[in-house]
Each structure stands twice: as structure tokens, then as C-alpha cells.
Structure 1
């Protein structure tokens, strides 16, 4: 039996002077990882923001706390706005301010707005803006602007009646018609001459001469200058023109096609030609960076990010991305599986299929799912309303409106069913019945029955649970390490401690009846 010495709320003697009735105070019990009570903290409100950041907000006064939860720096505010590592943005009576997580005051609590991003802090007061750079520990006044914002590539876009400006760039007074952030590396600038690319230093790596520019992914762009089409990769000092053509190139999501003399000729990838094929009729996306290529000789192939995944074959209507060298394919309205050469490994006899996982695939007939192996042998009959792919030997299946776990080793259903099962971290499963949650281990064994309003694993043998407004901690045997008693429980990973918050209510001070003698004395008789 666990000795809950912390629960001895009755053991804590707290005395109040004055006429305080039913006073409430937030208090914490501090435990180590073995759930030994280390200390108690009284009359505080603690938030754990990160590995090394702990804040007290008691009495609407924000303070940074040490690892032993002692205040060592006042944050001059009454409430926390945001913590964007390493910046702590606070709000006080006179506005907003920001501190470094180590306690250094960057801007006092007197600004209208604070923006933070990586090493930069942007502060606004009225229409005046200042920026602090943590790299050189310098604060600069940026001027008076209608509005300004930090960008993910480390610049500031500022707007005035004259246009858009980049006050941190090497040309801070150069106006732009528009500036848009693209990713953490580049901005797109619009000038009267066209569009250009600007790097982290605020320098043009592509002069503003482009008529049309579309961001693809990573640092790749699709561009059109006059009648010249280009695929461009942005680099730190200059762009790399990966492909250029005067033939028409179209862009539709991931699908980039080149037409030569009006006929479809090439399928492109971001940095050049993916497929150069005569006789293509059309290309249809069937998954991320996967395409069905239809040829004029009635053949169809599956094109992947690096080329053909299934060579063009006849008698196939659709090919989907696959796994384990088998690809779902359709013929005459039914699905089966083909190999890379386009030969049928499993005949097309199913209404619907899923890809192979752990040498097993889910297949559907008559509206119900079953499972087959990679030879096409039926492992489980068609009996499930929904299924998931096998992971670590287990699939989540639904039968007769209830969810079970199905084990790959024997294809036997778990005896216990639930209203819902979700796969959690480290292959544990969250079970649910009528909005109550429980826990199953990676093998499907029930650790905790569904009876809690909230349940979350916080590491090995540590399960946080809530029932009503009370929190506790269970181990994986279902035994309580901390009982269902606490208002909240915080896991401080930086100090390897656990804070259990409870609400202390002071007992009312009894009022003793007056004697007749005291009454006469008080009334002056």
C-alpha cells in the first residue's frame, strides 16, 4: 500500500490572523521521480514553460522561479502573453514587455505590441518600432511605420504610405510595391519591373525581373519571364536555374507538365525532367508526387518521385502507390495487386484495398474488410466495418459497431471491445467507452479500464488521469502513485520533479457566544 504522506493535508497547520472565513490558497506538493515528497509550496500559482523556465503568477505578479521554485526575478507583469523560446512576453498595467528566459529584461512593460521570432524581438509603441537582436545584444530604432512584422527569414517588413520597406536589409530605404515571406530563407519582392527573391541578409539573389513566380516546396520556385519558363532553386548567394524552356509548362499542385508543339511531352520534378515520354495522353495525380501516366497505346504506368515505379502495362485502369513491392491496381472495376513489372501478383477481385504493411493487406468485399497475405491467401474473413494497417503486429478493427485489437500472430480478436481505440505514443492504445478513457499496452493487454475523463502517458509507468476536477497518477498496473485528489499535476522534466497542486481551504474561525455580562458591558449598562 502506497504511503501518501503528501495527502496529509490535515497534517499541515496553517494559522490566519484576522477575520478570514473560508479562505482559499493554491499549494503544491513537490515529488521526486520515485514519488517521495521533497517539499511543499504554499500560496503560489506555478507554470512550467520549458526545461528551464518556471513562472509564478501568484497575486497577479509574474516571477521567474529557480529549480527549487524560489522566485529570483520579477517579470514586472501581471499575466503571461506567450513563451516563444527564449522569449517571455508579459502584460502589465502599462502594456507589454519581453524578457529573455534567463531573466534579462529586453523591453520594459510599456509597449503596445511585442513580436518575437528566433533571435529577434520587435516592439511597437504608437507607430514607432524598435528591434532587438539577440545575436549582437543590440536594440535599434526602426522608425515610424503604419505597421511592421517580423519575417521567418529574419527580416522586418515595414509599411508606409510610400510602400513596403526592409529596414534591416542592406537597402533599408528602398521601397517595394509588395513584399511577401515565403519560408525561413526567402522573401518575394514586387517592383514595377517584376518579381525578385531576397535572402536572409536582405539582398537580391534574383533581380526583380520575373513576370510570374510560384513557390513549390523547400527552396524551389516555378517562374515565367516573358515566354521563358524556369524551375529555380534558391541558394544563399544566388539562384540556381535548374531548368529553362520556351515550351509551355503548366503547374497544377505537384503536377508540372511540359508541352512541346502543343503535345504533352514531359513530366517535370522541381529540379528538372522526371519523365521524357513520347505518346503521353494525360497524367493524373494519385498521391503525393505519384502520377498515373496514360499512353496512346492504351498502356498505363505509375510514376513516382524518382521515375517509374510500375512500368506501363495494358489492362489496368488505375495504379496506386504501393509498398513492399506490391501496388494496388484496378481492372474492370475491381482491385488487386501488381508488381513493378506490371504483372498481376494478386488478381483483381476486391472492391477496395489498402497497401501492404508487415506483409499483410486489408481487402474489402460486400462492404466488409478482411486481410490477405502477399500470396493472396485470405487470413481473416470479410467481417470488419473498418480496419487499420498492421503496426507492430496489431491492427485496430471495428466489428458490430465496436472496436477490437486484432493480433497478427493468430488473427484472434481481443475479448474486450470498446467504443473507440486510438493508437498512442510508443504503441500504447487509448481505449474509450462513452467518453471515458482507458489504456492498453502495446500487446493489447488492458492496463486501465475506461473510466477517466482524461488520460495521458507521461513516460514509462507514469499515467496522468483526471476524473471530474481531480487529477492523479497511475502506474501501468493500474495502482495509484498519486491519488485522485489534486487540482492539477505538472511534470517538471528540467528538474525531474512532479508538482501536485491542491487547494487549501482555511476552516472558518468560530464565533463564541457572548455572555450576559459582556453584553451589558458592550451596551454600556
Structure 2
């Protein structure tokens, strides 16, 4: 028998509603992605109903495993538009399942901070919720977070604002999104942190660095992995976690897929099977 997953609505110990699916993929917030057969939809946990039917995205399978993956989250918490795939091209619908932005893009990402990254004719661009282009054409882009997005031009990274104005020049070899007012960037192959004014807050001395989460960040200083605070001071993560009653997620863009009895992590940029741990 095929393994099934159920979403139950229980009030005062009584099951009021029950929905059955072939697979689930968790998402922070009120939504959960659900799968029937090969296709995915969205279930609104707060409203206890399926708001988008399982008709978008054909589930992917890795050779040798029976796990189905949704290519990317269709919607992020607090966003109004939902990423969909139709006949190989990407567009956006609203929560009433009405097409708002035509499926014309070769690649696309879910809306983030009110903006979405789309790929067409060899370049990445940003669109707003009206489908209007903002900013220029870029080799690569990061999602908007805290009002800014990383963009790559001429093999270097910088940042633009929601008006498409470049506020941090393209001079970094690598970059990640802003979080808690700081962004990890690499200059001459060493990572450090800058603020929104393009000021170096933590010097370029790390082999790699992740964005801050709950006041701490994961880094490697060529001698080993560890955690730092916003002053660049090394801290004991276990002690910090207990004192602050918090959990630090090394990668903010991850979700757990639970399908066919197997579970794995999936970064928002695509399935990374090295992280799955099967």
C-alpha cells in the first residue's frame, strides 16, 4: 500500500476534518505544501483548507530513491502571490487561484519582501506584484530581504534597493542576503560582514560565513567551524542556545520534505542531495 499523510483538524479531542495526501513539505508560517500523485498544492493551516489544488509542479525524483520534491516553495509567509509552473514556464497566481502574472519566465523564484526574481533571455531581473520590472539585468541575484537584494554584474556582487537603485557597488566575489542588518560578503576570497551603509562591521577573515540568526552567525576561520556574535566575538553555541532559549538555523532557506516515508532537507536554491542524509 502507498503511504499516506493526513492533516487533521481536532477540536476538544474530536476530529472535525481530515485531508489525506501522498506527501507533505513543511513551510514556516501558516502554509504547508501538499502533494497528490506527482503534483503539489498549498494547504492553509490557519483556515484548515486547501487553497491551491494539487495541480502545479511535477514532483521530481532522484535516481534510486522514491522521494518526490517540489522544485521550490510556491509561497513564502506574508506574501500574496504564489509561484506556479505551466507548460515549462513560470508565473504567479493569487490565493484565489487566479493568474496574476503570466507564465512566461524560463526560471522564477517565489515572492520575497514583495519582489520576485525571474529569468528570461539569459538574464535575471526583478518584478513587483504588478509584474513590472524593477532594476536592471543581472547575471545572478539573491532574493530581497530587509529591503535589499544581492545582484551580480561583471562577475562581482553588490546590492540594490526596491527602486532598483544600486546602493552597494558590485565589488564582492561572493555574497549572501542581509539578515539582522548585516550581510556576509567575500572580498578576495575571504568572508566578512557589511552593514547597509557598505561599512565593514566584521573584518574579512573567514573561509566562509552565513547570515546572522538570533544574533549569532556560523563561520569558519580556516581553523574550524564556530559561531560569532555581531561584534565578531566567538561564542559557545550550546551555552548561548540555553541562555537565550533559541535555535540557530544555519541556512535560513531550508525545508523538510516528508514523502514516501523518507525525510530530507532542501535549500531554497535547489535540491542538494549531499544534505539529504539518506
CA displacement at 1:359 relative to structure 2: 0.4
Compare CA radii of gyration and give the structure with the larger one: 1
Counterpart among 111, 128, 142 of residue 339 in structure 1: 128
Q: Is the 8 A contact 1:431 1:439 kept in 2?
A: yes
Higher strand share: 1
Counterpart among 84, 88, 92 of residue 292 in structure 1: 84
RCO (CA 8 Å, sep 6+): is it higher in 1 or 2?
2
After superposition, the Cα gap between the structure-2 partners of 1:216 and 1:311, relative to the gap in structure 1 and judged at 3 Å, is farther
Question: Is residue 237 of structure 2 the alignment partner of residue 456 of structure 1?
Answer: yes
RMSD over aligned CA atoms reads: 4.2
Question: Is residue 188 of structure 2 the alignment partner of residue 400 of structure 1?
Answer: yes
After superposition, the Cα gap between the structure-2 partners of 1:303 and 1:437, relative to the gap in structure 1 and judged at 3 Å, is same
Counterpart among 175, 178, 186 of residue 390 in structure 1: 178
Q: Is the 8 A contact 2:51 2:95 kept in 1?
A: no
- Residue correspondence of structure 1 range 486-501 to structure 2 within 5 A: none
Question: Is residue 199 of structure 2 the alignment partner of residue 412 of structure 1?
Answer: yes
After superposition, the Cα gap between the structure-2 partners of 1:312 and 1:446, relative to the gap in structure 1 and judged at 3 Å, is closer
Question: Is residue 52 of structure 2 the alignment partner of residue 274 of structure 1?
Answer: yes
CA displacement at 1:324 relative to structure 2: 1.9
SS in 2 for 1:313: strand
CA displacement at 1:361 relative to structure 2: 0.3
Partner in structure 2 of residue 353 of structure 1: 141
CA displacement at 1:371 relative to structure 2: 0.9
After superposition, the Cα gap between the structure-2 partners of 1:314 and 1:294, relative to the gap in structure 1 and judged at 3 Å, is closer
Q: 2:142 & 2:18 partners in 1: Cα distance?
A: 40
Q: Is the 8 A contact 1:299 1:313 kept in 2?
A: no
SS in 2 for 1:426: coil
Q: 1:425 & 1:340 partners in 2: Cα distance?
A: 28
Q: 2:151 & 2:105 partners in 1: Cα distance?
A: 18
Partner in structure 2 of residue 251 of structure 1: 37
TM-score, scaled relative to structure 2: 0.56
Q: 2:40 & 2:215 partners in 1: Cα distance?
A: 33
After superposition, the Cα gap between the structure-2 partners of 1:272 and 1:364, relative to the gap in structure 1 and judged at 3 Å, is same
Q: 1:311 & 1:381 partners in 2: Cα distance?
A: 33
Q: Is the 8 A contact 1:293 1:303 kept in 2?
A: no
After superposition, the Cα gap between the structure-2 partners of 1:324 and 1:389, relative to the gap in structure 1 and judged at 3 Å, is same
Question: Is residue 220 of structure 2 the alignment partner of residue 446 of structure 1?
Answer: no
Question: Is residue 119 of structure 2 the alignment partner of residue 330 of structure 1?
Answer: yes
CA displacement at 1:405 relative to structure 2: 0.6
Q: 1:424 & 1:390 partners in 2: Cα distance?
A: 8
Q: Is the 8 A contact 2:4 2:20 kept in 1?
A: no
Unaligned runs of 5+ in 2: 22-34, 43-47, 59-69, 75-81, 244-278
SS in 2 for 1:458: helix
CA displacement at 1:395 relative to structure 2: 0.7
Q: 1:239 & 1:272 partners in 2: Cα distance?
A: 12
Q: Is the 8 A contact 2:51 2:96 kept in 1?
A: no
Q: 2:122 & 2:208 partners in 1: Cα distance?
A: 32
SS in 1 for 2:214: helix
SS in 2 for 1:382: strand
Unaligned runs of 5+ in 1: 1-189, 191-212, 221-234, 244-248, 257-269, 449-453, 463-525
